[in-house]
Structure 1
Amino acid sequence: MIRGLYTSASGMLVEMARTDVISNNLANVNTTGFKKDRAVFRAFPEMNIHRFDDPEPAGAGFKIDPVPFIGALGTGAVLDEIHVDFTQGRIEMTSNPLDLAIEDTAAGERSFFEIQTPEGVRYTRDGSFTIDAGGFLVTREGYYVMGENGPVNLKEGSKVVINTRGEVYLDGQLVDRLRIAAFPAGSLLEKQGDNLYSAQEGVPLPADARIIQGALERSNVNAVSEMVSLISAFRAYEANQRVVKAHDDTLASAVNEIARI
């Protein structure tokens, strides 16, 4: 009986975690370059269930197993990890020369703009850049966009052209080339906030990606799909909640009956 309470409670906890992840995805459905998360769960080890105290009839040299196997009992689940889905988002043209989108061309490769922050180098797919007071290309939060010569400076010019290879031309003169970092599928990238990622392992490779000027990559969140998943999580939570209540009512009845006796 108590085991059933713990199993149902663990089910409620994982559905709460799944709801939080889905809610965050929906909140960022219009965030440029956002990559949706997926909650990954794992089951606790199952337990073999046996029936005890069966009779052992004798005869003809045979007897019945006193503890026959009935089946397996699940003991609950737990959140294992939050997996980031790096599927390419929709490319939308904006005509703003400082808006940049990355279109991956190599299978399984994930490319990012390299950004300099106070905490070190970070990576992003959000190419909605601006120019700060010093003439540097920066993110919305004011972090420097990195080129091969350091932070990209566009102060001494007016017309900015960035080709598909990330080469930056200012009034027709090549001034720098964007640093685009690529990570193979399976690399561990962790979200850091402000639409930035940090590399937890591995070294970025030269990117085989196409840069599109005057465009932005939209979030890869499908609002309809996420809403369906959210409703499913709510229903699963409610089902586990009803099981907990049923166990609680049964325990209460058992205690009251025993006390009456």
Structure 2
Amino acid sequence: MFRGFYTAASGMLAQQRRTEMLTNNMANANTPGYKADQSSLRAFPEMLLKRFDQEKVPTEKGLNLPFNKTVGPVNTGVYMQEVMPKFVQGDLQDTGQTTDLALVDIIMPRNQETGVNGSVFFTVQNAAGEIRYTRNGDFTLDGQGFLTTASGNYVLDSNGNRIQLSSDQFTVNENGMLQGAAGETAFLGISYSADPYNLVKEGDGLYRTGDGGALADARGAAGVQFSLQQGKLERSNVDMSRSMTDMLTAYRAFEANQKVLQAYDKSMDKAANEVGRIG
């Protein structure tokens, strides 16, 4: 009986976490460069139940021989195994702002071991001086003229240096070559990950490598082709209609597990307070 409580409760927890993930996707539907999270649910390992008993042997001493009989397998519930971003190119949106940049995947080699296509990212530096990666090209200039993200992270060039400009009147070609109004030149730092699912997702659309190492320069990676579009932003790849459908499915599954839990609770209440009562 108690096993049913744990099974239903694990289903509720899994659907609650899935609902939170879908809610976060929908909240970031208008965030440039945001990659929607996707989850996978997995059942806990099954257990094989056996019943232990004794069998009397008709002898003078009345021997009792122990034996076990297989009852059958039982599942112990479900859990959310992992959450992974879906690295699919988002649509481009025209903004007309010179500081807005969008990365476009042209050819991304497929990893033969994992079957996953690689992806390219802008290289940025956070306030602690750590290297991070992002697809959000919603850039701006700070008070000192440094090119930064909307959240204040410094955009780096191909040499790992911060980019300082005299004004926001600059141009960027398809290869990432930046030319400022006062003659400044720099190649935007574009990094390549052969398996983006190994990246760790942080807030503000940032990613970091799991081992703390740096990604390779996309321009030197074999078979990688990309382009940059100025005055455009890559939109989120969240599918709102699909997310809403998945949200309703998760809610119904949560509700079903909740009703099962309530039924178990009523059965336990009856067993404890009514069964065996002397009238």
- TM-score > 0.5 by shorter chain: yes
Task: Give the aligned partner of residue 164 of structure 2.
Answer: 153
Partner SS for 1:193: coil
Cα displacement string for residues 171-208 of structure 1 (whole angstroms, at most 9, x for unaligned residues): 49461100011111255212221221111135412213
Identify the range of structure 1 (7-16 vs 84-93) with the bigger mean alpha-carbon deviation: 84-93
Quick check: 1:189 aligned with 2:205?
A: no
Distance in 2, matches of 1:97 and 1:75, equals 56
Structure 2 CA distance for partners of 1:114 and 1:67, relative to 1, 3 Å: same
* TM-score (norm. length: structure 2): 0.82
Alpha-carbon offset, residue 23 of structure 1 = 0.4
How many angstroms does 1:52 deviate by? Answer: 7.7
* Counterpart secondary structure, 1:81: strand
* One-letter amino acid of the counterpart of residue 153, structure 1: Q
More deviation in 168-177 or 40-49? 168-177
Equivalents in 2 of 1:234, 1:69: separation in Å? 36
Distance (Å, rounded) in 1 between the aligned partners of 2:118 and 2:229: 17
Look up the match of 1:61: none
Of 127, 146, 168, which residue of structure 2 is paired with 1:118? Answer: 127
Task: Flag structure 1 segments of 5+ consecutive residues without an equivalent.
Answer: 57-65
| 2-structure distance, mates of 1:197, 1:158 | 26
SS of 2:274 mapped into structure 1: helix
Number of residue pairs matched by the alignment: 251
Q: Is 1:205 equivalent to 2:216 in the alignment?
A: yes
Retained in 2: the 8 A contact 1:167–1:174? no
Runs of at least 4 residues off by over 4 Å? 49-53, 66-71
Deviations 1:92-130 (A, max 9, x none): 122211110011231311111111112311111110111
SS for the counterpart of 2:90 is coil
Q: Equivalents in 2 of 1:118, 1:172: separation in Å?
A: 27
CA RMSD of aligned residues (A): 2.4
Contact 1:101–1:212, Cα closer than 8 Å, also in 2: yes
Give secondary structure in 2 for the equivalent of 1:101.
Answer: strand
TM-score by structure 1 length? 0.87
After TM superposition, the structure 1 = structure 2 runs for residues 81-230 of structure 1, keeping only pairs within 5 Å, are 81-104=82-105, 105-107=107-109, 108-119=117-128, 120-149=130-159, 150-155=161-166, 159-171=169-181, 173=183, 175-201=185-211, 203-207=214-218, 208=224, 209-230=226-247
1:57-112 deviations in whole A, cap 9, x for unaligned? Answer: xxxxxxxxx97656432110122222111111111122211110011231311111
Higher mean alpha-carbon deviation, 227-236 vs 249-258, is at 249-258
Unaligned runs of 5+ in 2: 57-66, 110-116, 219-223
Q: Distance in 1 between matches of 2:235 and 2:46?
A: 42
Measure the CA separation in 2 of the matches of 1:191 and 1:21: 13
2-structure distance, mates of 1:117, 1:94: 25
